[in-house]
Amino acid sequence: MRSRLILALLIGLVFALAGCAKPVPAGREVRVAAAADLKYAFDDLAAAFRAKHPDIAVSPTYGASGNFYAQLENQAPYDLFLSADFEYPRKLVAGGRAVAGSEFQYAVGHLVVWVPNPSKLDLDGLGIKVVADPTVKKVAIANPKVAPYGRAAEAALKSLGVYDAVRDRLVFGDNIAQTAQFVESGAADVGVIALSLVLSPGMKDKGRYWPVPLDAHPRLEQGGVIITGAADPAAAATLREFITGAEGREVLKRYGFTLPGE
């Protein structure tokens, strides 16, 4: 009888303490629509952010900036948009789909011509003209209709006088990361891709690259913006400040981006 009484008292105490406990707050999260050239750089950046802000989760999705713009126009559930250009964020602000005054530039991207190590193409000697080599069957660029890096690659091929020679050899990735996969896997012989991907751990030892001159294409000024109706605009703003701060800039620099003010 005594043991039953003690057990009942203990059970009552557990429930009483549970009733007094403060409710655990729901986790904070920033859902990020990120341009595909950021695939590895932003993974590292998000990890550094989480180390400093463990209460805020970061959930990135990578793809073509133009596709994200279309989705955000239709109220896709993202909180922060990191585009490979500045035009899409500005258009979202103009259309009321992003918060006015929240737009920011975080980097300037760079294009390179890349070939895998086994390739016998004389990339150092030919530069961009390597794409016109008769042994080259396919040249990969991102889809210019939705990817700023694709538009820049197309412009570079035209301004450097090789577009007409390769237009029938072009294959288009849905985004710049898929374009890199085409040439890395051998589905294309040459790729005109983002330096940030070439410097990633998975690619940096697998090929050779030639930097495309900056004056050969429109400057790849990359911008971001907080989306109207963000679930946690304060958390999105905290991530924005981290990206543009010293730690975020250090990560972006490591992946070959030029930083605002440089």
Reported as a single tens digit per residue, the pLDDT across 182-235 is 999 999 999 999 999 999 999 999 999 999 999 999 999 999 999 999 999 999
pLDDT of residue 9: 38
Q: Kindly state whether residues 129 and 159 are assigned to the same domain.
A: yes
Q: Hey, which residues does 33 pair with through a beta bridge?
A: 61, 81
Residue 134, domain member (yes or no): yes
The SS3 of residue 146 is: coil
Residues 59 and 124 grouped into a single domain = no
11 is in an annotated binding site: no
With residues binned 3-state (H G I as helix, E B as strand, rest as coil), the percentages for the chain, rounded to 5, are: 45, 25, 30
Would 178 be classed as within a structural domain?
yes
Helix ranges, 160-203 (H): 163-166, 176-185, 195-198
Asked whether residue 142 falls in the same domain as residue 207, the answer is yes
State whether 188 and 203 are in the same domain: yes
Residue 50 sits in which domain range? Answer: 28-108+220-255
**242 domain residue, yes or no:** yes
Cα end-to-end distance, the chain, whole Å: 80
Three-state SS at 123 = helix
CA gap 197, 182 in Å, rounded: 13
Q: Tell me how far apart the alpha carbons of residues 46 and 60 are, in angstroms, rounded to a whole number.
A: 9
Answer yes or no: do 71 and 123 share one domain. no
- 6-52 pLDDT tens trace: 444 344 433 333 444 333 345 799 999 999 999 999 999 999 999 99
Give percent of the chain above pLDDT 90.
Answer: 89
Give the chain's domain count. Answer: 2
Residue 227 marked in a binding site: no
Averaged pLDDT score across all residues of the chain: 92
142 CB neighbour count, 10 Å cutoff: 34
- Do residue 125 and residue 154 come from a single domain? yes
**Residue of 85, 83, 80, 82 whose CA lies nearest to 57:** 80
HEC string of 79-139 equals CEEECCCCHHHHHHHHCCCECCCCCEEEEEECEEEEEECCCCCCHHHHHHHHHHCCCCCCE
- Shared domain for 205 and 125, answered yes or no, is yes
Question: What CATH number is associated with residue 144?
Answer: 3.40.190.10
For residue 161, tell me if it sits in a domain. Answer: yes
Helix (H, G, I), strand (E, B) or coil at 164: helix
- Whether 16 is in a domain gets the answer no
For residues 137 and 225, state if they share a domain. Answer: no
Evaluate whether 23 touches 49 at the Cβ level (below 8 Å): no
**Given its phi and psi angles, is residue 75 left (phi above 0), alpha (psi -120 to 50 degrees) or beta?**
left
